[in-house]
Amino acid sequence: MTISQLDNSSIKSTLSMNKSNTSECISENDSVLITGIIFILSLIVAIATAGGNFLVILAVILVKKLQTPSNILIGSLAFSDFFVALLVLPFTIIDAYQGYWPFNEGLCDMYISFDVLLCTASILNLCAISIDRYLVITKPLTYASRRTPQRMAAMIATAWIGSALISIPPNFGWKDPFQKCACEYSKNVGYQVYATFFAFYLPLIVMIILYGRIFKLAREMSRSGQSKMTAGISHDEHIVTKAINNGVKKDEDTNDICKAREYDKRLNSYSSRKLLTDSMNVTSELSREAHGRRSRGNSDTKVIKTLGVIMGCFCLCWLPFFMIQLLLALLSAAGYNTVNMIPVSVFRFLQWLGYVNSFLNPLIYAKFDREFRGPFKMILLCHCRNINARLRAVHYSAQYGLPSSSSKRQSIVISSPYTRNDTASRWLGKSLNQRCTSAVPIRPRRRPQMNFRNAISGQTDER
C-alpha cells in the first residue's frame, strides 16, 4: 500500500468518524413546521437587532450634535447589542434549527464566551446609563462639570472589563466537561452564583434603587406643579388686567394730547399696529407659560411611563432566564437531578427572551430621544452626505418657523398676528387701538426648569 493510499484511507476514516459522531446526535425538534417558523422568526429578530443597533451607532458617529456624553453610553450599549446579533445569534439559530450542537468544543467555548461577554456588557451599560441619568437629575450643577467624555469612557471601560471578568473564568476550567451534541453554560454552582449576581442581580438592584428615586422625585414635582398651576394662571390674569387698567388710565390723562395729534394718521396707524402686535405678544407669551405649566405635568407623567417601560422590558426579558440559571445550579448542588427538569423548548424560549432585550434597547433608549429621530430618517433615506447641514436646516426651520417652499404662503397666513383666532387677543388689540400711546410691560421669560423626560432620554442643556 502506497503513502497516497494510506492518506486517502485515513481521510476517509476521519470523515466517516465525524459523520458517525454527527449522526449520533439526536435532534430535539418535534415538528418541521414549528422548527421552520421558529427559524424564520429568530432570523427576523437577529436582522432587526443588528439593523437597529447599527443605525444608532451610525447616527452617533455621523451626527455631531449626538456626540454627547449621554449618547456615548448609548453608543456603547448599541455596540454590545449589535455584536450580540452578529456573533451570538447565528450560532443560537443553528443550534435551535438543528436541534443539537453541530460544532466542536472550540467553537462552543467561543460561542459561550461571546454570549456571556456581550450580554453582560449590554446589562452593565444599561446600569451605567441609569447612574448617569440619576446624577444628571439629582446633581445637575456639580455633575455637569464632571460629565466629560473621559468620565463616560471610564464608565464604559468599567462595564466591559467587568463583563470580561465574568465571561473568562469558564475558559480556565471553571466549567463542566464538554458533552458532544450539546453546548451549554457552565453548571458549576460557584460560577453560576458569581456570574448571575454580578452580571444581573447587582445591576438590577442598582437600577431599581436609582430609577425608584427618579420616579419619586418626578412624582413629587408633578404634584407640586399641579398645585401651583391654578395660582400661576390667576397671577398671570392679574398682570394682564393691571396692564389694561394702567393703559386706560394713561389714556384718560393723555386725551388732550391725542386730540392734538389726530392730524397725523400715519403715526396713529403705526402706533395702533404696534400696540396690537405688542398686546398680542403679551397674551401669547402668557398663554405659552400657562400651557407650559400644564405640559410640565404631562411631561412628568410621561417620565413615569418611560421609567416603567425601561424597567419593565429589562425585567421581563432577563429576570426569568437568570432565575432559572441560578435555580438549576442550586438544585444541582443540593443533589437533585436537573437534566430534564426544564424542557429544552422552555429554556430556549427564555434564552431568546433575553436576546430580545438587545432588539428593544435601541427602541427604548434612542426612539424616546427626539434628537435621534431626524438622523434616523436621514440615514434611512440615504441622505448621509452633508447630514449635519441638513439637520441644522430642519432644526432652524422648526425652531424659528421658517416656511418651506411648498407651504410658504399657507404658513405666512397662519403665523400672521392679524389672523390668529384668539378672542382675548382680538379684544385686547381693539381696546388698545383706540389709544394714542400705551405702555404694556413685556414679561421676561423665566429660566427653564428641569425637564425630567429630557433628562431620562439624555437631552440636556449642554447640547
Domains of the chain (ranges plus CATH)?
A: 32-402+418-457 (1.20.1070.10)
Q: State the residue for C-alpha cell 436537573.
A: 338
Q: What was the pLDDT predicted at 302?
A: 67
Q: What is the DSSP string of 221-240?
A: HHHHHHHHHHHHHHHHHHHH
423-444 pLDDT, tens per residue?
Answer: 444 444 444 444 444 444 444 4
Q: What was the pLDDT predicted at 233?
A: 46
Q: What was the pLDDT predicted at 310?
A: 86
Q: What was the pLDDT predicted at 373?
A: 83
Residue 179, beta-bridge partner list: 182
Four-CA torsion 153, 154, 159, 163, nearest 10 degrees:
100
Q: What was the pLDDT predicted at 336?
A: 84
Q: Are 441 and 236 in contact (CB under 8 A)?
A: no
Cα–Cα separations (whole angstroms), residue 56 to 117, 121, 181, 435: 21, 17, 37, 58
pTM: 0.71
Q: State the residue for C-alpha cell 473564568.
A: 169
Cα–Cα distance, 84 to 300 (Å, whole number):
34
Q: What was the pLDDT predicted at 3?
A: 42
Closest CA to 279 of 414, 433, 401: 433
Q: Are 323 and 252 in contact (CB under 8 A)?
A: no
Cα–Cα distance, 278 to 438 (Å, whole number):
10
Segment-wise mean pLDDT, segments of 10 residues, the chain, 463 residues? 46 43 66 88 96 94 90 94 96 92 93 96 95 91 89 96 95 84 88 94 95 87 62 47 43 46 46 45 49 52 75 94 91 83 90 95 80 86 84 78 48 42 46 45 49 58 47
∠ CA 402-405-409 to the nearest 5 degrees?
Answer: 80
